[in-house]
Amino acid sequence: MGSRLGRYFEGLLLLLLATGFATLATTGRLAWPVAACAAGLYAVRGAAFWRGAAPNLGARWWALGLVLYAPLFALDGTLYSHSFMQASLDFVVLAGAAKLLFRVNRRDEMTLGVLAFLEVLTAALLTVSGTFFLLFLLFLALLVATLVAHEMRQAEAAANAAPAWNPAPPPRGPLLRFSLLMGAAVAVCGAGIFFLLPRTALGEWMSRPSGSALTGFSDQVRLGAVAQLQRDNQPVMHIRLLQPVMDPQVFQRIPWRGRGLTEFDGQRWFSPDVPSLFATQGGSLAVAGGPGEDASQLVRYQVTLAPMGTPVLFFPARLLRASTRYPVLAWDRATATLATPGGDFSGTSYAGVSDLSEPAPEVLRATPAARGYEYGQYLQLPSDLDPRVAALARSIVAHAGGDDYDRMQALSDYLQTHYQYTLDDLPQGEHPLSTFLFDQPAADCEYFASALAVMARTLDIPTRVVNGFAGGEYNPLTGEYVVRGSGAHSWVEAYFPTRRPNPYGGGLQRGRRYELRYGRGSWVAFDATPAGASAASSNWLGSGMVMDALSSYWQEWVVNYDWLRQARLAGALQNGLGGSAGALWQGAGDAAGAARDRMKNAWAAWPAVLRWGALLLLAAFAAACAGLLRRQWRHGRGWRRRERTPRQQASVAYRKFLGCLKHAGLAKPPAHTAQELLAELQRRNPGPPLAEAAAAFVARYERARFGPEASDDGLMAELRRVRRLAHRLPLTVQR
């Protein structure tokens, strides 16, 4: 790569590979030693390129490096990443970066280009962030520029092999601008094809590995699992409130419930019930009837989940209806958990309607206690529960009111004031809950919720633990609330058998079993975690808002773009264009009708002589125009030809002349002049008529094209003569 064009291509190839690596590294799926080592190799190769140094290591060292990496590959797959698929990804990334330090040939360049493309493709399956979108656009521009430079270098190499060829150095600035323009055109055309190409299935990307599932939202959750998620500040959910418009401070107080859990074995919460599957109507499912007494507490929202590997859908308070893209949904009445049939690793978007109203404290205090065997699953306790837990609960509520609401409130207040919140050094052991309550009074929200639920059950109050999210940040660029992993939270819901309208129709039925199972009572949320402990960080700079908005649009219009969204978009465009076209057609018709009426009125006001004279004048003008058009068409279709100058006409005739010779068997090489072409024609010796006619044409062409007085007289006649002879006398190839 000694030429300027070769160095230009080499620099573009290095940038292309570095962009592919950066796109994959930003997904966070590469181990940090692998990412650091590969980044160092790219930095070394970039510094060498800047100094003009070329790699000089041979293929023998490359083979030796592969052999030495074999034990590291085995250790990576068995001990470090615990997955040979991940180990293979690390190996490919390191091998591609190390290859830059060795001498490469044309085949290696193609291999490296394919490697960069596969890195971007792998990143597309692992992330939906806006950073990927920006890096993808950069990669696309570099890919087009690299391919253009590669083709020009190939042409330069072929031209250098020809004799007497000394090309000028290529203008790299215009070449780069042309490449960027081509990349932009490819992006625009690709976007049009993506949005217009019919969707044959739901828009889902390839599933992530199972290890990437969101912790804390499966049907079995160990104490401390949510704490792992709370250390992650990545966005997990974007919420758009459709109605009503809500102040961000009010939104902070709305918990978004996900998985409900009913049974506790001392170390983990789980739900033994199998959820019921319901067929949706176009993706819509009504899980409850109408709203409560206060219809103003209804909230309508749209949620976009990031790829989390969990089937759970999140919603606030009492869900009434959900609109998804799934034909079947799973609804667990015992825990009020809505889920998709399987884990969705590609993210999803859905809408819902919830009722935020809750009974007033006075109503809850007047509600009779929920007692009886039918509440057994909400009163279950571990068989080896520490007896000190029940004693502590009784001592806390000793001075509280006699109703369940005041006792739940007393338990919550006690936990909030006597214990601290932390994500580090969580209580462990065989009985972590007892360790938290009596020995180590600091833990995360799961321990607070578990302590509240278990102590309430020792007092015969039906409870269940709910894992979800609380808080969120408002992004004014998108009008959405961004909920991050650090907003994961756990709280408790206690059951009060208040009277609600039957949500499933058919009038009211008697029996506590029906009330419990079908939700005619009220599940009231109680949060024992100290205030402010679970709030997500709000340090959000303007650039963070922009990147989040970009990620949101990317996931909404690319990742989750399915045939349902395409149909809605096509319908909106059709309605918009149809309305505009209809309004335009109606306006044009009204204007034409008004003009016609004015002409009729003016025509009726004219005298008869003037009317007949105007008709005759109009007919004469139309006849003159028709005659002019006919004359121009019959005389050589002359508009286009007469617009050309004699020199331009000579160039057109010369191209036709070359086509005639090519038809006869003689193609002009790119570097040959007209005289060299005539010499080659004489050497082939097809007969004197064609050679003489060609020489006469070339002489007239050179005078018309390069002479002081440009004239194409007789040029077309000579061209017609060459054409006749070329068709009659095909050339023979001389060996």
Domain regions of the chain by residue span? 4-184, 212-558, 644-728
Work out the average pLDDT over 389-416: 91
Say how far apart CA 115 and CA 141 lie, in whole Å: 17
CA dihedral over 72, 73, 76, 82, signed as positive or negative = negative
Which phi and psi (to 5°) does residue 102 adopt?
-110, 160
Token pair recorded at residue 530: 């100290």
- Cα(82)–Cα(79) distance, integer angstroms: 6
Band of pLDDT at residue 262, cut at 50, 70 and 90: very high
Q: What is the three-class DSSP state of 697? A: helix
Nearest to 727 by CA among 689, 675, 696: 689
| Mean pLDDT within 440-445 | 90
**pTM greater than 0.75 (yes/no):** no
What's the average model confidence in pLDDT over 326-339?
Answer: 89
Of the listed ranges 130-144, 503-517, 587-601, the least confidently predicted one is 503-517
| pLDDT band at 409; cut points 50, 70, 90 | very high
Please count the other Cβ atoms lying within 10 Å of the Cβ belonging to residue 330.
19
Question: How far from chain centre, in Å, is Cα 117?
Answer: 17
Amino acid at 283: G
Write down the pLDDT at residue 388.
94
Given pLDDT bands bounded at 50, 70 and 90, which one contains residue 199?
Answer: low
Q: What is the largest CA-CA distance in the chain?
A: 125
pLDDT category at 68 given cuts 50, 70, 90 is confident
Contact 286, 277 (CB under 8 A): no
C-alpha torsion angle, residues 684, 689, 693, 699 (rounded to 10): 70
DSSP 437: I
Amino acid occupying residue 168: A
The pLDDT tens digits for 142-167 are 888 888 888 888 777 776 665 544 55
Query: What whole-number distance in Å separates Cα of residue 255 and Cα of residue 98?
Result: 50
Please state the φ and ψ torsions of residue 58, each to the nearest 5 degrees: -90, 180
Contact 506/398 with Cβ under 8 angstroms? no
Q: SS3 for 527?
A: coil
Alpha-carbon 225 to chain mean position:
29
Query: How does 157-174 read in b/e, with b if 16+ C-beta sit within 10 Å?
Result: eeeeeeeeeeeeebeeee
pLDDT at 508: 32
Average pLDDT over residues 390-413: 91
